[in-house]
Amino acid sequence: MIRLLLRVLGPEFAGPVRRTLALMTATAAVEGVPVVMKKFPTKLPLTCGDSNLCG
C-alpha cells in the first residue's frame, strides 16, 4: 500500500513521504519503551544513586 502511494505521488514527494514514515516509526518505538519497561521491570537501577554498580 505504501509502495502504491509512493508510485502515485511520484518521485517529487517520495522523499518527504519516506521521511514522514521514518519519523512515525521512530516515534512509535520511543513511545513503546515505557510500556515495555512497565511490563518487564528491570532489577538494575537506572541511575548510580545508592548502588555500587557504577564504580
**In the chain, what are the domain boundaries?**
2-39
Confidence of residue 15 (pLDDT cuts 50, 70, 90): very high
9-31 residues labelled b (16+ CB within 10 A) or e (exposed): eeeeeeeeeeeeeeeeeeeeeee
**Cα(21)–Cα(33) distance, integer angstroms:** 19
So what's the pLDDT on residue 4?
93
So what's the pLDDT on residue 39?
82
31: cell is 513511545
Task: Render pLDDT for 16-53 as a digit per residue (tens, 0 to 9).
Answer: 999 999 999 999 999 998 888 888 776 656 666 655 55
So what's the pLDDT on residue 29?
94
Is residue 54 within 8 A of residue 44, CB to CB? The reply is: no
What is the 3-state composition of the chain as percent helix, strand, coil, each rounded to the nearest 5? Answer: 65, 0, 35
